[in-house]
Amino acid sequence: MKPTLLVLAAGMGSRYGGLKQLDGVGPKEETIMEFSIYDAIKAGFGKVVFVIRKSFEKAFKERFATTFEGKIEIAYAFQEINFDFPGIDDMPERTKPWGTAHAVLAAKNHINEPFAVINADDYYGVEAYQLVADFLRDEASPKLYSMVGYILANTISDHGEVNRGVCNTDSKGHLVGMTERSGVGRKKNGHHYYTEADKRHGLKKDTLVSMNLFGFHHSLFDEIERGFKEFVKANYKNPKCEYYIPLIINELINKGKIKMSVLPTKATWYGVTYQADRPTVVDALQGLTDKGLYESPLF
């Protein structure tokens, strides 16, 4: 059975200033998502599920109406902010999304096979898709998940600080836990850091970090559903809290329910966190196309 690619594309792009998921950054105005799906097809994925908001549906379907016809199956799932949830009689009203783990859960009815999760606005590199596709076909199980680990220095924006999940691994390359670091950046002298309590602390440039490229067995959906109920009840009066993928992963690891293989890559990650990141991404994708890694146009 071919694995599925789950694309998290429900973000509003507030720091970017618009729907960066649909911004054309390739040589023929392709979106980053199209490069991701191109790489996924070559790696052997059989389906793509976009997690979006209902308000994006028309724009997405108009943009990709015929792009992937005959190449890969496409489905849409919807992550909304306010909704009814089984087992919770009185869901709190919110103005912020419920987080990346909830976004994954939104796709439960569309996926019955091992699957990878990516962010819509991140370029992960050809190698990363092959690594995770091979894992999903050959190794994924209810007790073994995976994630691609990137070298910190290959993931930093030159235009502002970012958040990164720092990976702690054991001698066998299994994840012990992920520590979310905020205010991560690079000084002019090349040293990397994270920010905590208004102070900067050093980070090694070769630290492995998560860029939200995960490989999961579909049993994860039941775990997220259980965990989300507990999260909502525990954070009922906190309207800004979010249920992130690392929260459920850390919980499952700590309880001994799963192991997570960290698949290291030296690939350079590109993303458009800030509008000022766009020219770097445009140049990078043009360069990769010029080298023959991609056709032009892609589809």
In-domain check, residue 97? yes
Per-residue DSSP letter, 160? S
User: Residue 230: its pLDDT value, please?
Assistant: 86
User: Residue 131: its pLDDT value, please?
Assistant: 98
Range of the domain at 117: 4-149+208-290
In-domain check, residue 44? yes
Q: Which two tokens stand for residue 239?
A: 């309207």
Residues in the chain, total: 299
Q: Which two tokens stand for residue 219?
A: 């049993």
Per-residue pLDDT tens over the stretch 129-186 = 999 999 999 999 999 999 999 999 999 988 889 899 899 999 999 999 888 899 999 9
In-domain check, residue 18? yes
In-domain check, residue 232? yes
How many domains does the chain divide into? 1
- pTM comes to 0.91
User: Residue 12: its pLDDT value, please?
Assistant: 53
What does the alpha-carbon distance between residue 228 and residue 256 come to, in Å, rounded to a whole number? Answer: 19
In-domain check, residue 53? yes
In-domain check, residue 212? yes
In-domain check, residue 264? yes
**Averaged in consecutive runs of 10 residues, what is the pLDDT profile of the chain (299 residues)?**
95 58 92 97 97 90 90 92 74 80 94 97 96 98 98 90 92 91 92 94 95 96 92 80 90 96 95 86 96 95
What does the alpha-carbon distance between residue 237 and residue 29 come to, in Å, rounded to a whole number? Answer: 43
User: Residue 13: its pLDDT value, please?
Assistant: 53
Q: Evaluate whether 37 touches 5 at the Cβ level (below 8 Å).
A: yes
Angle, helices 126-138 vs 32-43, to 10°: value is 40
User: Residue 242: its pLDDT value, please?
Assistant: 87
Tell me, what CATH number does 40's domain have? Answer: 3.90.550.10
Angle, helices 220-234 vs 245-254, to 10°: value is 100
In-domain check, residue 114? yes
